[in-house]
Structure 1
Amino acid sequence: MLKGEYRHNIDAKGRLMIPAKMRDDLGENFVIAKGMDNCLNVYPEEQWNTFERRLNELSTTTNAKARKLARFIQGSANDADLDKQGRTLIPPALRDFAKLDKEVVFVGVGKHAEIWDRAMWEAQSAEIEESIEELASGLEDSGFSF
């Protein structure tokens, strides 16, 4: 499981150091794609294959939402790997989407990880902290409890 929060910098060539603790969970090959809230999602290859298979099961012929979701996620997906220094290249289109310039935060969220612009992550994190009790109580209806 991918977990934790790590701060890194993107270099001038668009390369990002993947946190050492996450490299084993991500594996040699992984996928980076657009995520919700203007972050990037990073999927281990096996998780990506499962996710993509489920997405492909949606009828993009007759379901406009499924078509748009597939375009958004699959259209932005890039196969990624690590160089000898543990870095991966974030393509310019994905850097632009997530507004990644220099300081980024890598956040593990279980089956995948997210890459955030540091300022955007801090705003998102503050928003979550303000409403955590409400969020948690809402999940209790689904059988989740602390």
Structure 2
Amino acid sequence: MLMGEYHHNIDQKGRMIIPAKFRELLGDSFVVTRGLDQCLFGYPLDEWQALENKLKTLPFTKKDARAFTRFFFSGAAECEVDKQGRVNIVPPLRDYAQLEKECVIIGVSNRFEIWSKENWETYFAKSEESFAEIAESLIDFDL
């Protein structure tokens, strides 16, 4: 399981250290793509394959299904970890998530997310106020 919050910098070449605890679970390569809320989603290859299989079942005749799969797959890039534990985040993904220097990497169960520090702090501050309400709405899921 991927969990925790880590702070790392991304250099001008787009290289960023992936937390060692994540690298143990991710292996030598994994997939990063555009996520929701202007962050990036990262998946171990087996989780990416499972997600791909689920998305293949969406009806291509539905406009929203086509739009989402285009958004999700067109931004995907396989990343390989170098000897220093870094990966290169390609420019279109860096631009989408506004990654310039300080980044926050968070574990979210079967995936991880990469945020610009500024976007993460803004998101967290706004969401923190409604966490109790969100928890109440999820009570139906036996959490």
Q: TM-score, normalised by structure 2?
A: 0.98
Counterpart in 1 of 2:108?
109
| Alignment match, 2:41 | 41
Tell me the distance in 1 between the aligned counterparts of 2:72 and 2:21.
Answer: 26
Residue 90 (structure 1) shift = 0.2
Deviates more, 1:21-30 or 1:6-15: 21-30
RMSD of aligned Cα (Å): 0.7
Q: Which residue of 2 aligns with 1:9?
A: 9
User: Cα deviations across residues 9-29 of structure 1 (Å, max 9, x unaligned)?
Assistant: 001100010011110111112
- Which residue identity does 1:99 align to in structure 2? Q
| Alpha-carbon displacement from aligned partner over 1:73-98 (angstroms, at most 9, x marks no partner) | 01110011100000000000000000
| Alpha-carbon separation, structure 2, partners of 1:120 and 1:133 | 21
Whole-angstrom distance in 1 between the partners of 2:123 and 2:112? 15
**Residue 143 in structure 1 maps to residue 139 in structure 2:** no
Q: How far 1:142 moved relative to its partner? A: 2.2
Distance 1:27 1:69 in 2: 27
The equivalent of 1:74 in structure 2 is: 73
Unmatched segments (≥5 aa) in structure 2: none
1:25 maps to 2:25? yes
Could you tell me which residue of structure 1 aligns to residue 54 of structure 2?
54
For residues 7-63 of structure 1, give each alpha carbon's deviation from its aligned partner in whole angstroms, at most 9, with x where no partner exists: 000011000100111101111120000000000000000000000110011121x11
TM-score by length of 1: 0.96
* Consecutive aligned runs of 4 or more in structure 1 exceeding 3 Å deviation: none
Greater shift, 100-109 or 123-132, is seen at 123-132
The number of residue pairs the alignment matches comes to 143
What is residue 65 of structure 1 aligned with on the other side? 64
Paired with 2:76 and 2:99, the residues of 1 have a C-alpha distance of: 16
1:69 and 1:7 mapped to 2: Cα distance?
A: 29
